[in-house]
Structure 1
Amino acid sequence: MKQVVITGTSRGIGLELVKLFSKNGHEVLALSRIAEVVDGFKLPGVTSIGCDITNEDDLARVKERLSEKGKVDILINNAGAIINKSFAETTVDEFRNVYDTNVFGVVGLIQLLLPLMNKESHVINVSSMGGVQGSMKFAGLAAYSSSKGALITLTELLAEEYKETGPSFNVLALGAVQTEMLEEAFPGYKAPLSALQMAEYIMDFSLTGNKYYNGKILQVSSSTP
């Protein structure tokens, strides 16, 4: 049984991950701004906390709760923010809001949980194919894709810094997945993979991937984007 922390669990991939880990007998701390969604499923082994990862007070409450468990085996930084808007029309504040969730919130949570992790622990950062150098890029996603690129580089740096003591750090650059967030950004677009299908892959990777990888970018996409 693993102690698992997942962010962005009120919908999409995050919610499916919570269900899968619970079904497989693991203990999960589900973090999202709307904790009531996960609570409504009454899943065994799951604790849900209303948490905005960009809010220091919310993160402090998470640390207090986890200190009772004594350790974190898996952290999946799944929470994400996206805006589809031309660069010229995207304000600096809108850029900051995207980076706050996709980069700085991840930084804050990792720093908070590092003392509860060990050599065997595994941090998975969920990025995007749009953040991979040389991949196809889409107009309107300057804030989102650049923040996901920053997350990729951050993962590589942390893997190097903690390679002797752990945890392991890997980043999954996802292609298009049929989620609410995708529908909001690209109404009507049909992705080749469902949220459940991607969640199954991410769970399996989180449990075993650190045996084979550290500091690696895995491109998880069945389509060009």
Structure 2
Amino acid sequence: MKNIIITGTSRGIGFELVKLFSEAGHNVLALSRNSKPISNLKLKNVTALEFDIADQSEIVKLSAFLQTGMKSVDILINNAGYLVNKPFSEITSEEFKRCYDVNVLGPTSLIKTVIPFMKQDSHVVNISSMGGIQGSVKFPGLSAYSSSKGAIITLTELLAEEYKETGPAFNVLALGSVQTEMLAEAFPGFKAPLSATEMAQYIMDFSLTGNKYYNGKILQVSSTTP
């Protein structure tokens, strides 16, 4: 049994990840602004906490919980994301900042909080997007989202270098389009080639074993463009 922390668990990939890890017998801390979808499932070995990754006071509460509860963390999956699809001329500074708060600054604070509870063979998996890959196809309206996803990629590489002697390992998965609620809200009518459950299975398998083969790496997980 491993101790797993997953963010963004109220729906989509994060929701499916919690179910898969629970079924596999692992201990899961599910973090989301809405804990009810997971709490209502009454899954074995799962604790669901209401948590806003963009709120620094929430980070402090998490630290206290880890000291008295989980005590050690084997895998951290930074899955929570915020996507806004608007022309650059129309996007507000608040929306741009929210993208960076949720997609970059929140995970940064969370990693800093969780690292003291991790071991050398622990694994941090950051979830990015193909839109954040340099040279990939870019789409109008995603200036805030894709640029923030590029930032988390670079952060992952830097942290892997900084912690390469002591651990944990850091890797980032740049996902292509997945059929989630967030995708449907941003791109109504678009049909992705993979379901949230299919992608969650891949992410779970990678988080459990990927650090044996990779550190500081960007894996592009996409069967199509984007």
Length-normalised TM-score, structure 2: 0.99
1:23 aligns with 2:23: yes
| Unaligned runs of at least 5 residues, structure 1 | none
Structure 1 residue 35 displacement after superposition: 0.7
Instruction: Output the amino acid matched with 1:25.
Output: G
Alignment partners' CA distance in 2, 1:105 and 1:63? 14
Structure 1 residue 192 displacement after superposition: 0.1
Matched with 1:170 is 171
1:108 aligns with 2:138: no
Matched with 1:128 is 129
Matched with 1:34 is 34
What secondary structure does 1:52 align onto? Answer: coil
Give the % identical residues: 66
Alignment partners' CA distance in 2, 1:46 and 1:170? 24
What secondary structure does 1:135 align onto? Answer: coil
Matched with 1:56 is 56
Q: Which aligned pairs between 1:46-85 and structure 2 lie closer than 5 A?
A: 46-68=46-68, 69-85=70-86
Matched with 1:215 is 216
Contact 1:159–1:214 (CA under 8 A) maintained in structure 2: yes
What secondary structure does 1:70 align onto? Answer: coil
| Unaligned runs of at least 5 residues, structure 2 | none
Per-residue CA deviation, residues 43-92 of structure 1 (Å, 9 max, x unaligned), is 00000000001112211221121223221000000000000000011122
Matched with 2:43 is 43
Alignment partners' CA distance in 1, 2:47 and 2:192? 31
Instruction: Output the amino acid matched with 1:51.
Output: F
Alignment partners' CA distance in 1, 2:212 and 2:62? 27
Matched with 2:90 is 89
Per-residue CA deviation, residues 199-222 of structure 1 (Å, 9 max, x unaligned), is 000000000000000000000001
Structure 1 residue 118 displacement after superposition: 1.3
Alignment partners' CA distance in 2, 1:179 and 1:220? 16
Length-normalised TM-score, structure 1: 0.99
